[in-house]
Structures are given as C-alpha cells and as structure tokens.
Structure 1
Amino acid sequence: MPKQVDYEERRRRIADSVCSLIARSGMESVSLRDVAADAGVSMGAVQRCFRTKDEMLLFALEHVSARVGACAQDRLARSPEPRSAVTLLERTLSAMALAEPEDRTDAQVWLAFVAHAAMSEPLAAVLRETYTKLHDLLVWLIGYGQDTGEFRADADPEQEARTLLALTDGLTAHVLVGHHTPESAHGLLSRYAAGLAAPPR
C-alpha cells in the first residue's frame, strides 16, 4: 500500500529548512535544490509542494510570522500571577523584539524577509498583516491597563501601539548586530512600559 504523505507537515518542514538556510547564509542561499537537501526530501517533493521559489518563500514567511505571533501570545499566557498590565506588556514586547538569545534565528530570518519584502509585494502583504495583528494586540494590552487603572488614562492606545511596534522592530536589528544587548533592549522596553503607568493615587 502506498505510503500516505502529509503534505502540510512536509510544507512546514520545507519552510523550516528555508528559515534555517536564511539564518545560516542569507536569502541568496535559498534554492529549491538546497532546500530539498536540507529538508531531506527530493527536488520533486519540494516542487510538488511549491510550484515556484517565490511561492515557497511566501509560505516560509507566513510560517515564521505565525511563529512570532504565537511566541508573543505564549509569553503573555505564561506571565506570572498576579498579571499586572506592565508585566504583560513587557513580556509581549520582549517576544516581539526577538531579543532573547533563543530568538536569534527567527530574528535573522525576520529581518531578511523584511529587506526582501521591499522588492516583493506578496511578501510585503504578509508582513503588513502580521504587523496589524501585533499592533492590535498592543492596543488591547494598553486598553486593558487603562481599564484596570494601571496605565495613564490620557495615553492613546493606537499611537502608543504604533510607537512600540516600531521600537520593537528596530531593537530586533540592534540586538542582532550588537548595538544593543538583550539586557539593554529589555531595559529600554521596560522603561517605556513603566512610562505608561498611571501616577500613584
């Protein structure tokens, strides 16, 4: 009986290989042949999953975008009790900035895709959607802090979310090239989150 192939699992495996190659050698290292070798599948198997290299890259970006978003949600869920708004915001910002040592591979891949998206509208569309979801999460967190009285009532959640999203994206690059350490990046994010705190009553 022919072996059943889980194509979605294979597509995810191929996407992981795309990300691994980008992290090791940059976007220019990604070819169907090299991805097949890294994933341990044949060229034909890759081509059955993706008709073109661009289609493969698009899926890989969607894959890593989902992982970044899930990481933010997971760190949010694992925040210790009691869950203050400041703590929740700090943990979410840390996940979005990809500043932890274990985030380095995702940071390398993320920045490679950001650079490549400047010349690829399909990739740019995926990034815009991801940024929108992260922006909405920050708006919710800031609004939550205002509802609990922990954040300033005069803070504009939309504006603060835009600023924080740009800050975390910039810190991804700064930590990756060594301009910031993970610790200094966390310190900067913590100071910004603390700046949203409502004055003591």
Structure 2
Amino acid sequence: MPKQVDHEERRRRIAEAVCALIDAQGLEGVTLRDVAVRAEVSVGAVQRCFRTKEGMLQFALGHIGERVTERAHGRVLGSPAQSAASTVGHVVGEVALLGDERRAEARIWLAFLAAAAVNPALAAGLRNSYTGLEGLLARLVEETGVDAEGARREARTLLALADGLTGHMLVGHRTAAEAEELLHAHLAGLWARAGE
C-alpha cells in the first residue's frame, strides 16, 4: 500500500527549510537541492509541491508572514484584560521582531523585503501581510480613542517604524533594547496625544 503524504505538512516543512536556508545564506543561497536536503525530502517531492522556485519562495514568504500575524493576533486574544494601549505595544513588538528569539525571523523577513523591491510577486505577498497587520493595528489604535482616520495613519506609521527598527537592529545601528526604547517612546507620545 502506498504511503499517504500530507501535502500541506510537506509544504510547511519545505517552507521551514527555505526559511532556514535564507537565515543561513540569504535568499540567493536557496536552491532546490539544498531545500530538499534540509526538508529531508527528494528534489522531486519539492518539485511536486512547487512547480517553480518562485512559487516555493512565495509560499515561504506567506508562511513567515502568517507566523508573525498569528503571534500578533495571539497577543490580542491572549490578554483580553490588558488595555488597548498596551495591546498595541505588544502587537507592534511582535511585528518588529526585536527579541533574540526573533532574530532569525527578522533576517528572513528583511531578505524577502529586499528581494521584493525587484520581484513583483514577492512584493504582492508582502503587501498582503502588511495589509492584514495594518488593519489589526488600526482597530487596536482606534480602541484607544483615536479617530478612525488617525488610527489608520498611526497603523501605517507603526508598521514603518517596526520595519525600520528591525533593520537598524540587524545591522547593529541600534541594539534590541534601544529599538524597544524608541518604540515605547513613540507609543507614549501617541497615547499622550490621544489623551489630549
């Protein structure tokens, strides 16, 4: 009897292998052969899951974006008793990937971001992730008493700040602690303006 294959699980395993290779060698270091070795599957299995390398990279980008988004949503659902303001801070902290435990994800995310500047398909995937996160942040900011237009503007600002801080931390321009301090200072200013 042929072995049953969970194709979605295999696709996720391949995506994890892609992400591990990007973390270790950058996006240009991802080859089908290395992905197969890392995922412990044959090259043919990788090709059956993804018709092209481009499709494989798009899936891996979506995979990492979903992980970040799920953690952000988890911060909202996991702490219903906290204030809307502290929830915004926790969610932006998740998006900024500043902690040591998020360093690999930060490198992978920024590798995709750099590649997306010249790859329309990857850019579309990033826009999808940003749109979801922006909507979540806008709703949370609005719950603090900021009007709808101001909340949307602040959500865009927070996403840009998170990405910028991630990049600054990765290249050593800021430590993770300094980046967190800048993020908290921005949020404190927001809440002071919202309370006026």
TM-score between both structures, scaled by the size of structure 2: 0.93
AA aligned to 1:98 is L
Structure 1 residue 84: Cα displacement: 1.2
Asked if the contact 2:61–2:125 (Cα under 8 Å) also holds between the matched residues in 1, the reply is: yes
Deviates more, 1:189-198 or 1:135-144: 189-198
Q: For 1:158-182, what per-residue CA distance to the aligned partner results, in whole angstroms no more than 9, with x for missing partners? A: 2111111110010111111121112
- Quote the Cα distance in structure 2 between the aligned partners of 1:101 and 1:40: 27
**Percentage identity across paired residues of the two chains:** 52
Superposed CA RMSD: 1.7
- Quote the Cα distance in structure 2 between the aligned partners of 1:69 and 1:50: 24
Structure 1 residue 36: Cα displacement: 0.3
Asked if the contact 2:76–2:87 (Cα under 8 Å) also holds between the matched residues in 1, the reply is: yes
- Quote the Cα distance in structure 2 between the aligned partners of 1:154 and 1:61: 30
- Quote the Cα distance in structure 1 between the aligned partners of 2:12 and 2:114: 22
- Quote the Cα distance in structure 2 between the aligned partners of 1:154 and 1:67: 27
Aligned to 1:6: 6
Q: For 1:14-73, what per-residue CA distance to the aligned partner results, in whole angstroms no more than 9, with x for missing partners? A: 000000000001111100000001111111111111111111111111111111111211
Aligned to 1:115: 114
Pair 1:127-2:121 in alignment: no
Asked if the contact 1:86–1:194 (Cα under 8 Å) also holds between the matched residues in 2, the reply is: no
Pair 1:183-2:177 in alignment: yes
- Quote the Cα distance in structure 2 between the aligned partners of 1:78 and 1:135: 19
Aligned to 1:149: none
Distance change (3 Å), C-alpha of 1:82 and 1:122: same
Asked if the contact 2:27–2:111 (Cα under 8 Å) also holds between the matched residues in 1, the reply is: yes
- Quote the Cα distance in structure 2 between the aligned partners of 1:37 and 1:52: 17
Asked if the contact 2:15–2:60 (Cα under 8 Å) also holds between the matched residues in 1, the reply is: yes
Asked if the contact 1:175–1:185 (Cα under 8 Å) also holds between the matched residues in 2, the reply is: yes
Q: For 1:101-153, what per-residue CA distance to the aligned partner results, in whole angstroms no more than 9, with x for missing partners? A: 1111111110000111111111111111111111111110111011xxxxx56
Q: How many residues align?
A: 194
- Quote the Cα distance in structure 2 between the aligned partners of 1:155 and 1:62: 28
Correspondence 1:90-101 to 2 at 5 A: 90-101=89-100
- Quote the Cα distance in structure 2 between the aligned partners of 1:175 and 1:76: 25
SS at match of 1:3: coil
Correspondence 1:1-201 to 2 at 5 A: 1-79=1-79, 82-146=81-145, 156-197=150-191, 198-199=194-195
AA aligned to 1:52 is T
Asked if the contact 1:23–1:105 (Cα under 8 Å) also holds between the matched residues in 2, the reply is: yes
- Quote the Cα distance in structure 2 between the aligned partners of 1:183 and 1:30: 32
Asked if the contact 1:155–1:196 (Cα under 8 Å) also holds between the matched residues in 2, the reply is: no
AA aligned to 2:172 is G
- Quote the Cα distance in structure 1 between the aligned partners of 2:73 and 2:155: 16
- Quote the Cα distance in structure 2 between the aligned partners of 1:84 and 1:190: 15
AA aligned to 1:55 is G
